[in-house]
Structure 1
């Protein structure tokens, strides 16, 4: 284990703090599976089940009180941080109810009428947010968590919350105000699209997986979305939902025509792949 990891774990033990895991169900493989089998998930909260997003429970973040830091399953997670399975926090006193309340209050991002879920459980998202905030603002994001340890690109990093406690959500939220780098934005978009596919098109994605590596297919589609300058949720969802079919994906009508703007290109594809098929079905 790295020195930063050992030092942080040792310091939390010295301060007699309780360790909390924030787990990302979309990590591959799902970290919840191995921890559950090892008996680590006895004191846990599946966050979305306590919200209006209960139908998405299968991809919900988990908050787990780690009662035995020496557990082999937990140690194996520490040995494999590149999986981006989540992060570790510490609290002076275990209080999953307050922690759940804190993250539910910060769970939804509402930008210009578009609602999305804030993936706080993703260590890459947490790293980006903390890196772009002032240390004096960290308590607004971390709330009752006293300290966090997370994997950022190629190393363990930690952040101490000097004023842990419960805070109202500020408007605007400082963790959302800064632009991501190109790769960070793509990483977040990739995770959001993957979650959308697994929520709304799980059967089609499973069929595609019989002949393609879905993650590679998704990268190809994201390259096309960027090349075609299709950036709205409507454009992304229309394109992905139809191109899950290999036959549809091979249709030459997807190719932009000379002189065609991105809006004209999308409108034409909408007519070809959505409107015409709807008319045929009728």
Structure 2
């Protein structure tokens, strides 16, 4: 990981004959502009061709941008604090395969306890890259040769040691929590629910059928970028109050919504 200027990075990648891929969340005016000027083979909606295809227009997209699109994305590069997404370099004709790579990593957990992994959010990406060893980068980044992203304080570059097609690991390292092992988090969550929500927590075990419920909720918190104990506790308690112990789909993060804004919206909803 090294500091870099996004414009210098883009120039370097183009000099190597690579395409520049802009991973962009929905809700930004630049998305509309890029859709109007790029042919269909130079962009894709990540949620298309997945179980959440009905949300494709509300989810992230990927655009292959060239020199003609430089002015369109200028404001994004100048304002990374808007958390619009990040940049990657790809080999020519690799877009479709790279979209398939992320679609395979989009949903976390098993039905009906599934959550969307916000890989397009530069904050989620930065948190994952902080804890990923070099050997785990290929399975995470797939066909991306190099990526450029805002880590919260500066622009950073990470190069993929082995770009290409890689299977989804059984236990993806990027879903491991940064502040402690999964075993510790599971134990802490279990103790919290036993101590403060014992009666509701019994529903997880009677009748049997939710052996992975707690693990799935923690994975959902990671996918949403909820890193604090208070955020995880809120998610656990609200999930226990729902029919089938499953949060409704509309409780997921909205386009352009930060993890903090997401939590605030749901807290307001439960109080209101």
Q: Same fold (TM over 0.5)?
A: yes
Alignment of 1:2-13 (within 5 A): 4-13=5-14
Alignment of 1:1-282 (within 5 A): 4-25=5-26, 29=28, 31-37=30-36, 39-40=37-38, 42=40, 43-68=42-67, 71-110=70-109, 114-179=113-178, 192=224, 226=230, 229-232=233-236, 233-234=238-239, 235=241, 243-244=268-269, 249=272
Q: 1 or 2 for the larger relative contact order (CA 8 Å, sep ≥6)?
A: 2
Secondary structure, aligned partner of 1:154? coil
Structure 2 CA distance, aligned partners of 1:190 and 1:172? 14
Structure 1 residues 16 and 231, CA, compared in 2 at 3 Å: closer, same or farther? Answer: same
Q: Is 2:4–2:157's contact at 8 Å kept on the other side of the alignment?
A: no
The Cα RMSD (Å) is: 3.5
Once the two structures are TM-superposed, the CA of residue 80 in structure 1 deviates from its matched residue by 1.2
**1:184-231 deviation line (CA, Å, top 9, x unaligned):** xxxx969959xxxxxxxxxxxxxxxxxxxxxxxxxxxxx9x9499533
Structure 2 CA distance, aligned partners of 1:71 and 1:178? 36
Give unmatched runs, 5+ long, in structure 1.
182-187, 194-222, 250-282
Q: Is 1:35–1:41's contact at 8 Å kept on the other side of the alignment?
A: no
Once the two structures are TM-superposed, the CA of residue 91 in structure 1 deviates from its matched residue by 1.1
Secondary structure, aligned partner of 2:140? helix
Once the two structures are TM-superposed, the CA of residue 112 in structure 1 deviates from its matched residue by 9.9
Structure 1 CA distance, aligned partners of 2:10 and 2:146? 11
Give unmatched runs, 5+ long, in structure 2.
181-219, 252-264
TM-score by length of 2: 0.65
Structure 1 CA distance, aligned partners of 2:167 and 2:150? 27
Structure 1 CA distance, aligned partners of 2:29 and 2:119? 16
Structure 1 CA distance, aligned partners of 2:15 and 2:104? 31
Secondary structure, aligned partner of 1:87? strand
Q: Is 1:132–1:175's contact at 8 Å kept on the other side of the alignment?
A: yes
Once the two structures are TM-superposed, the CA of residue 17 in structure 1 deviates from its matched residue by 0.8
Structure ID, larger Rg: 1
Once the two structures are TM-superposed, the CA of residue 244 in structure 1 deviates from its matched residue by 4.3
Structure 1 CA distance, aligned partners of 2:267 and 2:145? 46
Once the two structures are TM-superposed, the CA of residue 41 in structure 1 deviates from its matched residue by 6.5
Q: Is 1:8–1:149's contact at 8 Å kept on the other side of the alignment?
A: yes
Q: Is 1:40–1:67's contact at 8 Å kept on the other side of the alignment?
A: no
